[in-house]
Amino acid sequence: MSFEHKKIEPAITKANDATEVTAQLSKAGIKYVTETVCEWTDSLTIAPTVDDIGNYIQSTLMKIGGYQVASVRKALMLGALLR
């Protein structure tokens, strides 16, 4: 099991229904992507552009795979709308 799934899979076991599963996966996905992007930007010697960050997030989402990608994308879009 990969690192990404260890962070996201537990969300499924805590949920009581499909709506809650989606909500928990979205929270876990946003947290994972945020932590990953923060670790990546901290490791850089120059500030990334918006395009660099977008490309990095997209590649991170591709690594998560399948259902999680759809949930994370949806959660990221909702998060962007709420800001």
The domain locations on the chain are 3-7+17-75
Torsion-angle region of 29 (φ positive above 0: left; ψ -120 to 50: alpha; else: beta): alpha
Tokens of 36: 């990953």
In percent, the amount of the chain with pLDDT more than 90 equals 0
Cβ(76)–Cβ(31) under 8 Å? no
Average pLDDT, the chain: 66
69: pLDDT strictly greater than 60: no
72: pLDDT strictly greater than 70: no
Residue type for 51, please? D
Comparing C-alpha atoms, which of 78, 34, 81, 41 is closest to residue 60?
A: 34
